[in-house]
Amino acid sequence: MHTHAHNVLWRECGNVESESSLTAVSRDAEVAAAIVARRDGLLVVLSGAGMSQESGVPTFRDAQTGLWARYDPLELATPEAFRTHPARVFGWYVWRYQLVQRAQPNAGHYALATIQRALDGAGAAGQSVLVVTQNVDGLHQRAGTTDVVELHGSLQSFRCLGAGHPYDATAIGEMAVPPDGEVDPPACPACGSPVRPGVVWFGEMLPQASLERAYRAARACAAMLVVGTSGVVYPAAALPEIALSRAIPVIEISPEPTALSPHVTLSWRATSGMALPLLERALAAPGGA
Catalytic center residues: 152
SS3 content of the chain, % helix, strand, coil (to 5): 45, 15, 40
Residue whose CB is less far from Zn ion, 129 or 188: 188
Residue whose CB is less far from Zn ion, 34 or 161: 161
Residue 275 pairs in a beta bridge with: none
As measured in angstroms, the least distance from the Cβ of 184 to Zn ion is 16
Amino acid at 196: R
Q: Helix (H, G, I), strand (E, B), or coil: what is residue 199?
A: strand
Residue whose CB is less far from Zn ion, 24 or 190: 190
Evaluate whether 253 touches 88 at the Cβ level (below 8 Å).
Answer: no
Amino acid at 73: P
As measured in angstroms, the least distance from the Cβ of 196 to Zn ion is 10
Residue 119 burial (C-beta neighbours within 10 Å; 0-12, 13-18, 19+):
buried
As measured in angstroms, the least distance from the Cβ of 168 to Zn ion is 13
DSSP, res 181: -
d(CA 210, CA 216): 10
Residue 133 pairs in a beta bridge with: 47, 150
Residue whose CB is less far from Zn ion, 40 or 204: 204
Which pairs with CB-CB distance under 8 Å and at least 24 residues apart come from 170-179? 172/94, 172/97, 173/97, 173/98, 173/101, 175/94, 175/98, 177/91, 177/94, 177/95, 177/98, 178/91, 179/67
Residues of this chain that interact with Zn ion (CB under 5 A) are 160, 163, 165, 188, 190-191, 193
Edge-first strand listing for the sheet containing 41-47: 149-150, 127-133, 41-47, 223-227, 250-253, 266-268
Residue whose CB is less far from Zn ion, 164 or 257: 164
